[in-house]
């Protein structure tokens, strides 16, 4: 019964909005504007204003893991910017195998939580390898936080979700229309979770030359891929014409993202220009970088607050000279260090 006599049937969905708003408003009053967050399950139209949300009480099995992804893709296509799930499932107990596969999926989400009903979801209760797997993917996520946080800022400013159905990024590719076993984390990273105990995964790569972030392998898209992965691996593919901001810290998620950030450039095609922005945890721009591939040159322009940064041309080993900085080569490509914290760099290739 409602104090103002509202019809309970008509209020059914709206109730969840009001419920979350009450909590959000109280937190904002207590901690200040832009400092409130609600980790909520129930929602309706407009509830994305009170982020974040998760998928509810999923079961500890592969079927429910797949259902969780499909539900999340649907929610994120409905105006919600942030979504995740209980790693390992909420009901019952996951097997060590399922837990380790879910860890990779869960850490490559907008936010991540180890949570369950029947047991604590800490890794050492499953097996020793689970500890190593969780450590590996936690460090991976922490290092990717400059990129992930920029996508979070984009979600708050423009409403574009952090996790995106393939059709959202590739609307003109008919193969992407019904894909629900893979997703884009932001516009640059394709993630295909493993949904079976055999480590087998089948996923679709749109056209272009993609790069496996973990191994550096280059793969030409426009095709389906079938692969087998161990627990320390997952299809994590970087889209061509990408600048990926990678942080120097891998043991916590909140740090100075712009300090010594490594801007990694992947398969920048001739004639293309791409940009990226690194924000601090208050949502303020700390570094803006644009790179253009023109003929046999890369032209880089930056605007930043004075913190050191460097740039890695992934897979590029044919640098002739650099104006405005120095360079070294390693197994991943060419690492550029500017002479000053901002200005212009010009890279000439052989």
CATH code of 255's domain: 2.60.40.1180
Residue 252 counted as domain residue: yes
- Whether 340 shows a pLDDT value over 90: the answer reads no
Alpha helix locations (H) across the chain? 8-31, 62-76, 96-107, 128-143, 145-158, 166-169
Residue 28 counted as domain residue: yes
- Specify the pLDDT at position 71: 95
263-321 pLDDT tens trace:
999 999 999 999 999 999 999 999 999 999 999 999 999 998 889 999 999 999 999 99
C-beta of residue 268 within 8 angstroms of C-beta of residue 253: no
Mean of all residue pLDDT scores within the chain: 95
Count the domains in the chain.
Answer: 3
CATH number at residue 34: 3.20.20.80
Other CB atoms within a 10 A radius of the CB of residue 75 amount to: 20
Q: Which two tokens stand for residue 212?
A: 């496996």
Clarify whether residues 66 and 142 are in a common domain.
yes
Clarify whether residues 136 and 193 are in a common domain.
no
Clarify whether residues 127 and 20 are in a common domain.
yes
69-124 pLDDT tens trace:
999 999 999 999 999 999 999 999 999 999 999 999 999 999 999 988 888 889 99
Clarify whether residues 40 and 127 are in a common domain.
yes
Residue 138 counted as domain residue: yes
- Specify the pLDDT at position 341: 66
Distance between CA 350 and CA 333 in Å, rounded?
14
pLDDT classification of 342: cutoffs 50, 70, 90: low
* Residue finishing a domain among 95, 126, 154: 154
Rounded to an integer, the average pLDDT of 13-35 is 94
Clarify whether residues 90 and 216 are in a common domain.
no
Clarify whether residues 252 and 317 are in a common domain.
yes
Clarify whether residues 180 and 208 are in a common domain.
yes
* Residue finishing a domain among 134, 154, 174: 154
* Residue finishing a domain among 188, 222, 238: 238
CA–CA distance from 138 to each of 90, 111, 232, 252, 281 (Å)? 20, 11, 12, 9, 19
pTM attached to this predicted model: 0.95
Residue 2 counted as domain residue: no
Q: Which two tokens stand for residue 123?
A: 């890794």
Three-class secondary structure of residue 99 per DSSP:
helix
DSSP state of 91: B
- Specify the pLDDT at position 207: 97
Q: Is the Cα dihedral 339, 151, 199, 133 positive or negative? A: positive
Q: Which two tokens stand for residue 194?
A: 């493993």
Clarify whether residues 141 and 118 are in a common domain.
yes
Long-range contacts, stretch 67-75, CB < 8 angstroms, 24+ apart: 69/105, 69/180, 69/181, 69/183, 69/193, 70/180, 72/163, 72/183, 73/163, 73/165, 73/180, 73/183, 75/43
Other CB atoms within a 10 A radius of the CB of residue 237 amount to: 26
Clarify whether residues 219 and 276 are in a common domain.
no
Residue 315 counted as domain residue: yes
Alpha helix locations (H) across 82-191? 96-107, 128-143, 145-158, 166-169
- Specify the pLDDT at position 27: 97
- Specify the pLDDT at position 119: 83
Q: Convert 92-117 to b/e letters by CB count within 10 Å (16 or more is b).
A: ebbebbbbbbbbbbbbbbbbbebbbe
Distance of CA 181 to the CA centre of its chain: 16
- Specify the pLDDT at position 32: 94
Rounded to an integer, the average pLDDT of 160-185 is 97
User: Tokens 């967050």 sit at which residue?
Assistant: 37
Residue 3 counted as domain residue: no
Residue 1 counted as domain residue: no
Residue 302's domain comprises 242-349
Closest CA to 94 of 83, 82, 106: 106
Strand 273-279 with 285-294, pairing = antiparallel
- Specify the pLDDT at position 138: 98
Clarify whether residues 53 and 146 are in a common domain.
yes
Clarify whether residues 314 and 344 are in a common domain.
yes
Distance between CA 229 and CA 153 in Å, rounded?
32
Residue 38 counted as domain residue: yes
Distance between CA 172 and CA 163 in Å, rounded?
19
Clarify whether residues 12 and 56 are in a common domain.
yes
């Amino acid at each position: 019964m409602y104090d103002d006599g509202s019809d309970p049937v008509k209020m059914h969905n709206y109730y969840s909005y009001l419920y979350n708003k009450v909590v959000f408003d109280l937190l904002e009053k207590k901690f200040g504007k832009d400092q409130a967050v609600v980790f909520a399950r129930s929602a309706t139209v407009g509830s994305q204003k009170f982020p974040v949300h998760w998928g509810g009480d999923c079961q500890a099995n592969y079927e429910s893991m797949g259902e969780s992804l499909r539900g999340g893709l649907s929610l994120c296509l409905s105006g919600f910017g942030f979504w995740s799930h209980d790693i390992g499932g909420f009901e019952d107990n996951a097997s060590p195998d399922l837990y380790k596969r879910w860890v990779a999926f869960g850490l490559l989400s907008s936010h991540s939580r180890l949570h369950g009903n029947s047991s604590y979801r800490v890794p050492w209760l499953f097996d020793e390898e689970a500890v190593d797997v969780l450590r590996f993917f936690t460090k991976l996520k922490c290092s990717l936080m400059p990129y992930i946080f920029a996508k979070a800022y984009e979600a708050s400013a423009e409403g574009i979700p952090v996790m995106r159905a393939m059709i959202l990024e590739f609307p003109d590719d008919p193969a992407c229309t019904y894909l629900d076993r893979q997703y884009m984390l932001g516009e640059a990273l394709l993630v295909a979770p493993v949904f079976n105990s055999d480590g087998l995964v089948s996923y679709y790569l749109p056209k272009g030359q993609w790069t496996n972030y973990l191994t550096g392998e280059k793969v030409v898209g426009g095709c389906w891929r079938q692969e087998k992965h161990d627990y320390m691996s997952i299809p994590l593919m970087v889209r061509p014409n990408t600048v990926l901001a990678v942080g120097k810290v891998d043991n916590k998620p909140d740090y100075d993202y712009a300090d010594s950030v490594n801007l990694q450039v992947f398969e920048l095609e001739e004639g293309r220009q791409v940009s990226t922005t690194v924000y601090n945890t208050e949502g303020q721009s700390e570094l803006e970088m644009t790179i253009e591939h023109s003929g046999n040159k890369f032209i880089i322009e930056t605007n930043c607050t004075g913190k050191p940064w460097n740039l890695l041309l992934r897979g590029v080993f044919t640098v002739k000279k650099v104006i405005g900085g120095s360079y070294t080569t390693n197994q991943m490509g060419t690492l550029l260090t500017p002479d000053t914290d901002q200005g212009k760099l010009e890279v000439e290739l052989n």
